[in-house]
Structure 1
Amino acid sequence: MMVRRTFLAAGLAGMTLPTRAWAEALPRLQVWRDENCGCCVGWVDHMRAAGFPIEDNVVRSVAAARRMLGTPPDLLSCHAGLVGGYALEGHVPAAAVTRLLADRPAGVRGLAVPGMPVGSPGMEVPGREPDTYDVLAFDSRGGRSVFMRFRGGTPT
Structure 2
Amino acid sequence: MNTRPAFLRLVSALGLVAAFAGGPVFAAGEEVVMYKDPNCGCCGKWAEHMRASGFAVKEVRSTAMSAVKREAGVPQALASCHTAKIGGYVVEGHVPAADVRRLLAEKPKVAGIAAPGMPAGSPGMEGAYPSERYDVVSFDADGKHRTFASH
Q: Which runs of 5+ in 1 are unaligned?
A: 1-7, 151-156
Corresponding position of 2:123: 121
Deviation at 1:61, TM superposition (A): 2.2
Corresponding position of 1:58: 61
Corresponding position of 1:83: 86
Q: 1:88 to 1:15 in 2, by over 3 A?
A: closer
Deviations 1:2-58 (CA, angstroms, capped at 9, x unpaired): xxxxxx58x999854412545823630011101111111110111111111111101
SS in 1 for 2:134: strand
- Pair 1:37-2:30 in alignment: no
Equivalent position amino acid for 2:113 in 1? L
Equivalent position amino acid for 1:19 in 2? S
Distance 2:59 2:7 in 1: 34
Q: 1:15 to 1:57 in 2, by over 3 A?
A: closer
Equivalent position amino acid for 2:111 in 1? R
Equivalent position amino acid for 1:139 in 2? D
Percent identity, aligned pairs only, is 42
After TM superposition, the structure 1 stretch with the greater mean CA deviation from structure 2, 24-33 or 13-22, is: 13-22
RMSD over aligned CA atoms reads 2.3
- Pair 1:19-2:12 in alignment: yes
Corresponding position of 1:71: 74
Distance 1:14 1:59 in 2: 38
Q: TM-score, normalised by structure 1?
A: 0.80
Distance 1:16 1:136 in 2: 39
Equivalent position amino acid for 2:118 in 1? M
Distance 2:116 2:55 in 1: 22
Corresponding position of 1:132: 133
Give every structure 1 segment of 4 or more consecutive aligned residues whose post-TM-superposition deviation is greater than 2 Å: 11-17, 19-23
Q: Which runs of 5+ in 2 are unaligned?
A: 17-24
Q: 1:43 to 1:22 in 2, by over 3 A?
A: same
SS in 2 for 1:115: coil
SS in 2 for 1:25: coil
